[in-house]
Amino acid sequence: MSATDNPFRAGMALPPPVIAGREPYLGEIKTLMDNARRTGDAARTRVFIGPRGVGKTVLLNAWRDRARDRGWIATRLAADHNPDRSVLATLVANYQDLIQQLGRRGRPNTKTLTATLDLSLGPLNATITRPSQSIDPATVDQTIRRLGAAAAKARSGIYLALDDLQAAALDELSTIAKMIQTATTERLPVVVAGAGLPELRDRAPHDTSITFTERVTWTTIGALSPADTAQALLEPFRQGGWKLEPDAAQHIVELSEGYPYLVQMLGSCAWDLAAGTRHLTVGDVNEASQRALDELDDGMYRIRWNRCSPTERAYLGAMARIIRDTQREEVTGREVADRVGREPKQLSAIRQRLIDKHVIESVDSVHATIRFTLPLYDRYVLQRAEPSARTQRSRWIKPPRPGLDL
């Protein structure tokens, strides 16, 4: 097996070779579809929230694939800060195409052709040639009614995955909630799922979209457990016939910290490095980790650093030094303020800007506890804040701890 056979997918939203630790959610789509087809009630819409790189979009796409396997029309729409590309505008603009897909699909799991179906439900009472900046909720309501009716007539269903909802405008979240209510009230075979960054949940209850928060089930997606990390990271090697030294296997699992994006990056770098021998050693893991660090430093980490102002970078530097000194992943606003000789309220605006930029996240609002959103970002910040630290990677490149059961 050559390096070109590398099964790991080190990229956002790319499906990994093994989806581990998400089994309860993977099977849920079948129940939702069965309920929607049988009673027109898909229960509460599930919205996955978590930082970037934990697999939210992977779950939405896995549901989409399972829905298509059942003969449903399934599509994923991503929210955008540009109102001309809102998820609802795109849904309305694609209405006719979805109707045509239902006509081509016919009855699921049969050879029935379009000719046996009459999906001529009449024109949508809106002229839309492209996504519009302002989408009337009544138009969205009519769209979901027509789609649901066509799906029911075709003995099929509609699955809508709404991604990156943190970028949706507040009135759009309110309209989405009304759309979900319409589908449920009229017992349409429609399943809606969503995903967004943690800020989505914090911001939605404070505006007119409060009904959105009442109509969805929030599910936080985070790091994998050690056992799930081992499955996601090591199983592709084992399936490829690799020999894994026990210490190397334990080491690479620990280095990933259970962060799905880093799992894929480490796995990919290790695979490319030792594909010739298909034998993974601790030395290989350490070298692969160096390569992975370089990729992170030049990509995801650098981008976030460049978006920060000098004062924001100083705040991050104080956080990183506290983490280094205390060996804790979380710090308080008071600790940061004490480190820079200021009062916490004087730094609250900086803290909020960093949260809005997805560099840090709030863990406990009562005690103003915060942490970096990306693993090992404190190490990168130290390298930028302290030139002498740029060659010090001992915090990550370290001997594996004993006792991890793989």
| pLDDT score for 208 | 56
**What's phi and psi for 45, nearest 5 deg?**
-65, 135
Assess if residue 295 is contained within a domain.
no
Can you read off the two tokens belonging to residue 217?
């089930």
Looking at the structure, do residues 319 and 194 belong to the same domain, yes or no? no
Assess if residue 56 is contained within a domain.
yes
Looking at the structure, do residues 100 and 197 belong to the same domain, yes or no? yes
Q: E strands within 281-405?
A: 331-332, 360-364, 369-372
Looking at the structure, do residues 181 and 323 belong to the same domain, yes or no? no
Looking at the structure, do residues 347 and 206 belong to the same domain, yes or no? no
Counting beta carbons within 10 angstroms of the beta carbon of residue 127, is it exposed (0 to 12), middle (13 to 18) or buried (19 or more)? exposed
Looking at the structure, do residues 173 and 314 belong to the same domain, yes or no? no
Amino acid symbol at 378: D
Q: What pLDDT, in 10s, does the model give residues 118-131?
A: 344 444 443 333 33
Residue 92 to residue 240: CA distance in whole angstroms? 45
Assess if residue 201 is contained within a domain.
yes
pLDDT higher than threshold 80 for residue 253: yes
Assess if residue 259 is contained within a domain.
no
| pLDDT score for 65 | 94
Assess if residue 78 is contained within a domain.
yes
Looking at the structure, do residues 214 and 101 belong to the same domain, yes or no? yes
| pLDDT score for 114 | 29
Count the Cβ atoms, other than its own, within 10 Å of residue 11. Answer: 12
Report the CATH number that the domain containing residue 198 is assigned in CATH.
3.40.50.300
Percent of all residues in the chain with a pLDDT value above 70, rounded to a whole number:
82
Spatial contact of 316 and 301, defined as CB atoms under 8 Å apart: no
Task: Please tell me the total count of domains within the chain.
Answer: 2
Q: Is the dihedral of CA 102, 103, 105, 106 positive or negative?
A: positive
Q: Which residues neighbour 90 within 8 Å (Cβ) at sequence distance 6 or greater?
A: 77, 131
Residue 64 to residue 193: CA distance in whole angstroms? 10
Looking at the structure, do residues 208 and 60 belong to the same domain, yes or no? yes
What is the CA 142 to chain-centroid distance, rounded? 30
pLDDT higher than threshold 60 for residue 111: no
**Helix 56-69 vs helix 28-39: angle between axes, to the nearest 10 degrees?**
50
Looking at the structure, do residues 203 and 351 belong to the same domain, yes or no? no
Amino acid symbol at 404: L
Residue 309 to residue 336: CA distance in whole angstroms? 17
Residue 291 to residue 301: CA distance in whole angstroms? 14
Assess if residue 8 is contained within a domain.
no
Report the CATH number that the domain containing residue 311 is assigned in CATH.
1.10.10.10
Residue 405 to residue 230: CA distance in whole angstroms? 9
Pick from 158, 181, 219, 162: which is nearest to 36 by CA? 158
Q: Give the domain range for residue 327.
A: 307-374
Residue 110 to residue 54: CA distance in whole angstroms? 37
Residue 320 to residue 327: CA distance in whole angstroms? 10
Predicted TM-score (pTM) of the model is 0.80
pLDDT higher than threshold 60 for residue 82: yes
Looking at the structure, do residues 211 and 312 belong to the same domain, yes or no? no
Looking at the structure, do residues 215 and 312 belong to the same domain, yes or no? no
Looking at the structure, do residues 190 and 336 belong to the same domain, yes or no? no
Question: 165 to each of 95, 177, 214, how far by Cα in Å?
Answer: 20, 12, 16
| pLDDT score for 209 | 53
Assess if residue 396 is contained within a domain.
no
Q: What pLDDT, in 10s, does the model give residues 188-233?
A: 999 999 999 887 887 665 555 556 777 788 999 989 999 999 999 9
